[in-house]
Structure 1
Amino acid sequence: MSWRVSCRMSWLWCWLLAGLTLCHAGSGSNILMITMGGTKSHKIPFWALGRALVKRGHRITFVNGFQADFHVDGLEEVAPQRLVQYIANYTDWDLVGARYTGHAPLSMADAMRYPIEACNSLLNDPATQRLLGNGTWPGHAQYQLAIVDGAYPECALGIVHRLNVTAFIYINTVAFYTGSVSLAGNPVAYAVTPHVFGTWTLPMDFLQRVANCLTHVIADLLHWLCMQRVHRLLRHHLGEDVPHPYVLGRDVSFILQNSHPSVRYPSAHLPNVAEVACLHCRRAAVNLSQLDVELSGFMEAAPDGVIYLSMGSSVRSARLPARLCELFVAVFARLPQQHVLWTWAGNASEQLPQLPANVLVRPWLPQQDILGHRRLRLFITHGGLLSQHEAVFHGVPLLVLPVFCDHDANAAQAQRHGYARQLQLAHLDEEALYCAIYDVLHNDGYRRAVRRRRALIHDQLATPLRQAVYWTEYVIRHKGAKHLQHPGRHMR
């Protein structure tokens, strides 16, 4: 074959591949995403997957209880105002203050009313009624797939059912929550499955297994009672023929589980479950000074590294007890060799008037760019799952001060793995906090343990995000992937 013919063939292949790419981009599916999560962190895995799917030519409608922070072409956020207002009122809490004084951050009654009242707010909202009335969001065709948060999915499942969406999958945002996984037919043995609201880790002794089993049984009973009321709501708003939420949940096509053996423990899963912990994680900025000169300079100027403190989106900085703020300030003043970055969304000049020179307070900080910075030595956190995953992804030891929900379970597991130390907020004093910080900074065992975990989570056939995209498109291609569902999931 001559050189000229070879060149023509090469150009032909290039045009063919370009054409196939354009065809792929133009043949994307319409996807509905819904999260009923009451904290903004629930949106983060959806954002990550949604942006990746948009790049693949899919069109996303994302329903959630928070106003959009940015715009992405192809990803339209719908924030029903009644749900937004309900979540804002419900979460006007003092979680840290309650834990600091030795009280439960959230009563059982408050926890049980959330899925009921949030569902009622969502279904009563004009935006939701518009979605249901049209069968899709204006400008979007019929949905081929729904992606639903595995935390409080029941109301969303009613909407998915009424819209006649072909299939749905879960993003199980809370790794230790096993309810949605169990409904799909996965084995969840109570004796060896630590409950999301417990502090037990594997292996458990006999008494711990008994307590864990009782916790599971009681939680299941309370959840069943709650779901009876949710079902009545669904039938009232969506029609008497809407099945029970448990029946709807058993038909999940696939589950993207926000966990991995490197950050949790090995679990027995069916073929329609993929573990995608760190779905949202990314590499840190190579040159932080290009993003923020002041922040970069502050970190580089630290004589002996940087400490980063962030208590997550669920904690209101302005509601932190004054005594606890004074405690942090006093401890940081005793660490002049370290610089401290502190995420504080309140009025720092009024609430933190005597900050030492080695502390920089900002209402928002680029967390993953900080965690991946070579000067960072310690992350003080509330124990949120995404923060824990990011710390492992970037190889940073933790000091965890659990607040509520799954924070205690996450902290216990991280401590078991050796890369975190846990302190209880209840009656925390200055000396205990200082000694814990000093220990993590100077005991190299924490850093070795987290680097081991970092190596494990990076050593996969594909990144968690690529896996999530693959399985999402797999379910679309195979019209719900019924062949992956357990045939005994509806047995009683």
Structure 2
Amino acid sequence: MRITPVVLLGLLALFVGVAEPANILGVFTSTSPSHNIVHIEYIKAMVERGHNVTVVTTQPLKDKNPKYHHIYLPQEKKIIDSVFYLLEEQAEPLRNPLFLDLMNNPDNKFDLVIIGYFSNDFHLGIGAHFKCPIVLSFTSAANNLQDRYIGNPPEVAYVTALSLFAPPDPMKFTGRLTNFMINFLWKILQYFLQRHSETLYSEIFPPSKYPPFEETKKMVSLVLLNSHFTDGFIRPHVPAVVEVGGIQIKQKPDPLPENLQKIINASSEHGVIYVSFGSHIKPSDINPQLNENIFKALAGLKQTVLWKWNDAEKPGNAPNIFYEKWLPQDDLLANPKVKLFITHAGKGGVIESQYHGVPMVAIPLFFDQVSNAAQVERHGFGLELDQHTLKAEVLRTAVLEVLENPKYVKKAQQFSKLYRDRPMNAKDTAVFWLEYVLRHKGAYHMQSPMVHLNSFQYLSLDVIGFLVLVIFLVYKTVTITTKFVFKKISAKLQKIKKH
């Protein structure tokens, strides 16, 4: 057997391990089930490797595994009305008696903490409490939320700010101007967010017992991103950032439930349109007019429509539309009869659609969905529509365009091949680097020196100030010396004239 680099990397991932099973804690307090789908993949992977894992969530887990200990802290899912509310929402579980019992039990010792990251900086105190390295799991591409932890260079000229907004063309002046202004305004907001996080940190992790808030940021060993450079967000990464986009996607899809398979089998040659707006927002929470327009656009098409819907009143009934409370998205998109995905452009859904080569019609609702939808259209994987101005006839035209114009499915399938072409799959990559951090007790040798610089030092303001002072002193010295010399010469000339 010829040992290629790909085979060698695979063998390393399988056989290079830690000396003994490690104790790992996962803390995932986002109220979005879609976030937990990604976070839990790391837990499942580490359990398969024989590690002892405890996981804390604020949402119930569908696929419970008896091999790990699950602490469920029930929390009502609410619509996020401000960024500051988002912080308060994620602070609440840390005050829960069950979580406090976990923290205060002297028998609980952990070698690694994996934190589901969504602006919850104060959660870094968990790593400080257990005196162990921290790994951040982020469900999207990198942005300057994580940059400051691992020292990623901010490239404002061509990296979209926050990966939440996509300028019309990042390389043109208007795009760079927009990106610069968004980045500048975010820095201002970020300052206040950090102050609020610091307040929450001081309350939950009192300074008499814990290191300063800023010091905990230096405990971050690794950031795992649910992205991949092929999906359009090209930017430099330091070694402590690892892209594992698509980690939630099965290497081999599971068989579909019998009722779904029956519907799909009956769809004949026209195929299936899959409609879902994710797991965080219920369809009944969306503007009723938007749901009505979607129904009008899809009713009567020759394609079968599978629409993820909750118990609320349906927008209408049509022979070709089937409403289902739950749909196995990854397995469904893997089915060759699914021809189109109508989506809110959540990162997880876009990744799964790209992986399986299914074109999209994207109707973003908020946050990074706007940027994701823009990328879908920019790269030719489908079309983006505005939820606020969407009319039934506009959606129907877009659906037919993507279904009937082969360029979209061709682009999507080309990208699918590109996205899958890696030395190791996402799961094996994540396992290797998580265990790398364990083997090397935090692997802090991967940290960028930028982590240990404050903003004043990073921007070289001290160096610039010093050089300005030196230039000023040299200028003053030359000026004073010149004036003194000219004064002496002038005095001598005056004496000569008098004689």
TM-score range, shorter chain: 0.7 to 0.9
Does the alignment pair 1:351 with 2:314?
yes
Distance, in Å, in 1 between the alignment partners of 2:330 and 2:247 is 13
Does the alignment pair 1:333 with 2:304?
no
- Partner of residue 101, structure 1: none
Does the alignment pair 1:156 with 2:123?
yes
Matches within 5 A, 1:9-88: 27-81=20-74, 84-85=75-76, 88=77
Does the alignment pair 1:448 with 2:420?
no
Farther-moved stretch of structure 1 (407-416 vs 171-180): 171-180
Change in CA separation of 1:176 and 1:164 when aligned onto 2, cut-off 3 Å: closer
Change in CA separation of 1:127 and 1:206 when aligned onto 2, cut-off 3 Å: same
Shift of 1:179: 1.6
Change in CA separation of 1:190 and 1:145 when aligned onto 2, cut-off 3 Å: same
Change in CA separation of 1:23 and 1:425 when aligned onto 2, cut-off 3 Å: closer
Distance, in Å, in 1 between the alignment partners of 2:364 and 2:358 is 18
- Partner of residue 369, structure 2: 407
4+ runs of 1 displaced by more than 6 Å? 21-26
SS in 2 for 1:262: helix
8 Å CA contact 2:246–2:426 kept in 1: the answer is yes
Does the alignment pair 1:235 with 2:202?
yes
Shift of 1:176: 4.7
- Partner of residue 378, structure 2: 416
Shift of 1:246: 4.4
Change in CA separation of 1:72 and 1:155 when aligned onto 2, cut-off 3 Å: same
Change in CA separation of 1:120 and 1:262 when aligned onto 2, cut-off 3 Å: closer
Distance, in Å, in 1 between the alignment partners of 2:408 and 2:148 is 34
Shift of 1:223: 1.9
- Partner of residue 274, structure 1: 242
Distance, in Å, in 1 between the alignment partners of 2:391 and 2:354 is 28
Q: Percent identical across equivalent pairs?
A: 28
Task: Identify the match of residue 89 of structure 2 among 96, 110, 118.
Answer: 118
Distance, in Å, in 1 between the alignment partners of 2:393 and 2:340 is 18
String of CA shifts for 1:388-413, please: whole Å, max 9, x gaps: 11001111001100011110011111
- Partner of residue 299, structure 1: 264
Change in CA separation of 1:305 and 1:126 when aligned onto 2, cut-off 3 Å: same
Does the alignment pair 1:132 with 2:95?
no
Change in CA separation of 1:65 and 1:177 when aligned onto 2, cut-off 3 Å: farther
SS in 2 for 1:428: coil
- Partner of residue 429, structure 1: 391
Does the alignment pair 1:388 with 2:353?
no
Distance, in Å, in 1 between the alignment partners of 2:211 and 2:377 is 42
8 Å CA contact 1:253–1:272 kept in 2: the answer is yes
- Give the residue type in structure 1 aligned to 2:95: N
Task: Identify the match of residue 146 of structure 2 among 180, 191, 194.
Answer: 180
Farther-moved stretch of structure 1 (360-369 vs 118-127): 118-127
- Partner of residue 443, structure 2: 481
Shift of 1:379: 0.3
8 Å CA contact 1:30–1:59 kept in 2: the answer is yes
Runs of 5+ in structure 1 lacking a partner? 1-20, 92-105
Does the alignment pair 1:214 with 2:181?
yes
Distance, in Å, in 2 between the alignment partners of 1:245 and 1:41 is 29
Task: Identify the match of residue 428 of structure 2 among 458, 462, 466.
Answer: 466
Does the alignment pair 1:257 with 2:219?
no
String of CA shifts for 1:6-57, please: whole Å, max 9, x gaps: xxxxxxxxxxxxxxx9997993111011223231111112211111110110
8 Å CA contact 1:284–1:372 kept in 2: the answer is no
8 Å CA contact 1:185–1:486 kept in 2: the answer is yes
- Partner of residue 96, structure 1: none
Tell me the TM-score normalised to structure 1 length: 0.84
Distance, in Å, in 2 between the alignment partners of 1:462 and 1:202 is 32
- Partner of residue 360, structure 1: 322
Shift of 1:130: 0.8
Farther-moved stretch of structure 1 (251-260 vs 442-451): 251-260
String of CA shifts for 1:211-260, please: whole Å, max 9, x gaps: 21121122122122122122122222222154454442243111212211
How many residues were matched structurally? 438
Tell me the TM-score normalised to structure 2 length: 0.83
CA root-mean-square deviation: 2.2
8 Å CA contact 2:155–2:235 kept in 1: the answer is no
Change in CA separation of 1:406 and 1:245 when aligned onto 2, cut-off 3 Å: farther
String of CA shifts for 1:176-214, please: whole Å, max 9, x gaps: 533213431111212211123323265332122122112
SS in 1 for 2:137: strand
Task: Identify the match of residue 378 of structure 1 among 340, 363, 370.
Answer: 340
SS in 1 for 2:103: helix
Distance, in Å, in 2 between the alignment partners of 1:206 and 1:149 is 36
Q: Which protein shows a greater Rg?
A: 2
8 Å CA contact 1:400–1:421 kept in 2: the answer is yes
Change in CA separation of 1:333 and 1:159 when aligned onto 2, cut-off 3 Å: same
SS in 2 for 1:192: coil
Distance, in Å, in 1 between the alignment partners of 2:450 and 2:257 is 55
Distance, in Å, in 2 between the alignment partners of 1:338 and 1:44 is 29
Shift of 1:474: 0.6
Runs of 5+ in structure 2 lacking a partner? 1-13, 455-499
8 Å CA contact 2:167–2:178 kept in 1: the answer is no
Farther-moved stretch of structure 1 (124-133 vs 244-253): 244-253
Change in CA separation of 1:271 and 1:120 when aligned onto 2, cut-off 3 Å: closer
- Give the residue type in structure 2 aligned to 1:298: I
- Give the residue type in structure 1 aligned to 2:71: V
- Give the residue type in structure 2 aligned to 1:60: V
